Amino acid sequence: MKNQIYYGDNLDVLRNHLASDSVDLCYIDPPFNSKRNYNQIYNNIGTEDKAQSQAFIDTWTWDSMAEHGLREIIANKNGVLSAQSIKLMIGLEQILGKGSLLAYLVSMTLRIAEIRRVLKPTGSFYLHCDPTASHYLKLVCDGVFCSSGGDFRNEIIWCYSTGGRAKEFYPKKHDVIFWYIKSKNYLFNYDAIALERDTTTMHEPILHDDEGRSYQRNIKNGKEYKYYLDKGVLPNDWWIDIQAINPSAKERLGYPTQKPEALLERIIKACSNEGDVVLDAYCGCGTTIAVAHRLGRKWIGIDITYQSISLILKRLEHSFIKDFTDNVVDKNIANLLEQLEINGVPKDMDSAIALANKQDDRTRKEFEKWLVLSYSNNRATIDEKKGGDAGIDGIAFLDDVDSDNKHTVKQVLFSVKSNKTLSPSVIRDLYGTVERENAAVGILLTLYPMENLVKESKKYGEVKLANNFYSKIQVVCVEEMLNGERLQLPNVIDVLKKAEQKAIQMSIL
């Protein structure tokens, strides 16, 4: 099996693409019903404000989708739900009423039931959440797993102290991670995650047996217990030894809810072996899959936003050429891409048109994001703030070097249009914005070919960048992008880590 990335709603992907009993371990870190939308804060450069764009939406309302979901649970058409899960939802509807919390729990129930289906009988499920909804989510998981031969194993409390501190109540500084198993015949690798035994807590001397193994002993009720030092101890169900990602963390990508690799490393080592299949159905910036890859597991990642998909591709590219972590598995990005299948990303005009016309309350401007990020080889940032003001959907930065070796960071602005026809005034407007923003180049990305605009764009001449000449205003259509055309400008800066380092070197941050 190749590693898989799916761009789409995980419910569709689980239902239509993942076989029953095929996954060894599933970890998910879904939106927590936090009632706010997370913004990805890019490590932006050259601008006074941090460009923000909506990474994903975590507000829930009782709408037609929630109503449809509840009907689906009650009808149990696919037969994946237990009687207990169905009764639980009927009961919760009476207690909570049809509001945002029920909408969230309906969405989670449908997906967790599908996840149980795709797990192998020996498989494990980890659900990462926080106290906002953990008490309800445990009911949902009990309904899905415990009534169908599975069981609850642990509630792990992951403690951290990063972030702001409340003054009106105890600062909320822990997340909750539930661990469920599909059957009692589950995998748990004690030795892979055991910690070194702390010999100071028992107040007993270290002894050696006939084979030279060191141990401490304890005598309880006349019986001797030996604790071998080479065996190690399991971490407790509260984890304080794993730090949250802080602003200066090496692995930080700027994704708002990024989890530390060490957390995933413990979970993946505990409940999977090399070659096993690890699934993350809400994979965000790809922490689970990056760690699974490094540990020699096969993996499947699903996310509904193109920004995540773009970030994951970039993360894989960087991680395995030793940029973000010191753990190099595979220096050859070509090998990595060969082992990878990317699904759900438009590959032809029909699917591009479908994405442009897609209506989805949970995501915004997915067509624009896909086009800007793909055309720029994932180098642009998505700027919704600027976009709101001036029709700009993305920005890239380039490091211009003149003949005297003087460096200047310059902006490239992207604007996306999916209209069937456009008048040349669009080009004039883009040129106006490029001039006003003091940008080097403006690029109009269109769904349909626009000969009239290509002609109009020629009127705006060329600009000299890194001692070569490029069109000031460029027009590219989706078909050209699908045929492999990509951003042709010199020294485009990667807006992940590298850009930050470069900008610091150039003292422009």
Ligand X SMILES: C[S@@+](CC[C@H](N)C(=O)[O-])C[C@H]1O[C@@H](n2cnc3c(N)ncnc32)[C@H](O)[C@@H]1O
The residue ranges that bind ligand X (CB under 6 A) are 9-10, 29-31, 56, 255, 257-259, 282, 284-285, 287, 302-305, 308
Given the complex with ligand X, which of 181 and 267 has the nearer CB atom? 267
5 vs 434 by CB, closer to ligand X: 5
CA distances from residue 299 to 116, 237, 467 in whole angstroms, order as listed: 17, 26, 44
Q: Which is nearer to ligand X, 31 or 394 (CB)?
A: 31
Backbone angles phi, psi at 129, to 5 degrees: -150, -170
Nearer to ligand X, 316 or 434 (CB): 316
Least separation in angstroms between CB 239 and ligand X: 16
Distance CA 126, CA 128 (A): 6
Distance in Å, CB of 245 to ligand X, minimum:
9
Distance CA 145, CA 12 (A): 21
Tally of CA atoms within 13 A in the half-sphere of 210 that contains its CB: 0
Sign of CA dihedral 160, 234, 250, 308: negative
Nearer to ligand X, 241 or 361 (CB): 361
Least Å distance, CB 296 to ligand X, is 20
Query: How near is the Cβ of 147 to ligand X at its closest, in Å?
Result: 24
Question: Could you give the CA distance from residue 469 to residue 423 in angstroms, rounded to a whole number?
Answer: 27
| Of 281, 396, 214, residue with least CA distance to 7 | 281
Quickly count helices (H) and strands (E) in the chain: 17, 21
Query: Three-state DSSP class for 441?
Result: strand
CB of 311 to ligand X, least distance (A): 8
Residue with smaller CB distance to ligand X, 305 or 411: 305
By CB atoms closer than 10 A (0-12, 13-18, 19+), residue 79 is exposed
Q: How far is the CB of 431 from ligand X (least distance, A)?
A: 35
- Alpha helices (H) along 340-395: 349-357, 366-375, 384-390
Nearest residue to ligand X, scored by beta-carbon proximity: 284
- Our CB check for ligand X shows the closer of 258 and 374 to be 258
DSSP state of 440: S
CB of 253 to ligand X, least distance (A): 8
